[in-house]
Structure 1
Amino acid sequence: MKAVEVTGSIDEQGNLRIDEPILGMTNQSKVRVIVLFPEAIEEVDPDDTSIEEVKASLKRALQEAKAGQRIPLSQMWEGIDAE
């Protein structure tokens, strides 16, 4: 038996919807499915930053650097109490 890990979701009717097709299947035989899901609602970590936000921040930083809007490294540490 071969194992393939995929992600998906359960719709309102309780049907499993796989995010992407499983490639390499040559026959249409029955499969065994093990569904893993969190027992409780996961809390959103406020420190998690979305990929879109990170990309936008990096793009802004690159544009600022190209425009000469940089802060010298020596000034970056001013006001930061690092022990």
Structure 2
Amino acid sequence: MRAIEITGSVDEEGFVQLDQPLAEAKLTRFRGILLFPEVDNSQDQEWSLSAIQASTGDLLDDPEEDIYTLEDGEPLDDEA
């Protein structure tokens, strides 16, 4: 079984609406697990949604996240 991570929402009738189409999985049934935020504050929900939508690659490419240098930490001696 193959896993695909995607975001979406549940409409007023309880149907799942995906944020984007699944290009590689057409005309097939699927089994899914829905993960819902545990917060009721709409501001927190907006933050959660943007955190889910942000890709890890974008985060790692952000210069503000590049806080370590080669001088940080201590050398590792793996010949012990």
TM tier, smaller? 0.3 to 0.5
Which fold has the larger relative contact order, with Cα–Cα distance below 8 Å and residues 6 or more apart in sequence?
2
TM-score, normalised to structure 1, is: 0.46
